[in-house]
Amino acid sequence: MARSNDTMRQCALTRTEMPVAKLIRFAESPQGDIVPDVDGKAPGRGVWITLSSAAVDEAIRKKVFSKSLKAQVDVPADLALMTRSRLEQRLTGALGLARKAGALVTGAAKVAALVEKRGAAALITASDAAPDSRRKMLQSVRRAYETPEGLEHIESLASDQLGLALGLENVIHAALIPGAAANSVMERANRLARFIATDREEDGTI
């Protein structure tokens, strides 16, 4: 059963209790190795770690998984990379569903028009977008919201990942229309952004 985001669990690395929205679960597979359980639904024993690539690497270094499970388990050296990949898959899957539901628009002109009407739930920009293209779109955000931080901004995926998720080519800009599909995308984007964030202050970009 899925857990609500206000359910509390303890990070096995820091021993800090926090909401599951700020943690990620790792499960012991039948083969005895540790795998990412990004939905927190896998059966069997599990270990909760702070939702951070750096925290996962530190947990590996300190042998936290074996200590927490009180058993010797195999931990892949690239566990953080595996986790990021699965978080990206969850996000691209949600984007595909949003497009099928008619809750997503693409193309710079259409996206800018929706943003300037304050009709977007979030702006999506490819992480490899050209600086001038990004700057022009943020000008539309500024016109509508006075500051670029006035609208949630997802920049976690490259243009090829966006294109694959949406079944389109050369996707640089997109926008979500408010609703359940948009909320699902934003939740997954936030988890991915938190996981890959480095030592910097949050800047409103997800």
In the chain the domains, ranked by start, together with CATH numbers, are 8-77 (3.30.1230.10), 86-196 (3.30.1330.30)
Q: Given a cut of 70, is residue 201 above it in pLDDT?
A: no
pTM of the shown model: 0.89
3-state secondary structure string across 107-127 = CHHHHHHHHHCCCCCEEEECC
pLDDT at residue 188 above 80? yes
Which tens digit of pLDDT belongs to each residue from 12-59?
999 999 999 999 999 998 888 999 999 988 988 899 999 999 999 999
Mean pLDDT (the chain) is 91
pLDDT in tens, 66-95: 999 998 999 999 999 999 999 999 999 999
- AA identity, residue 43: P
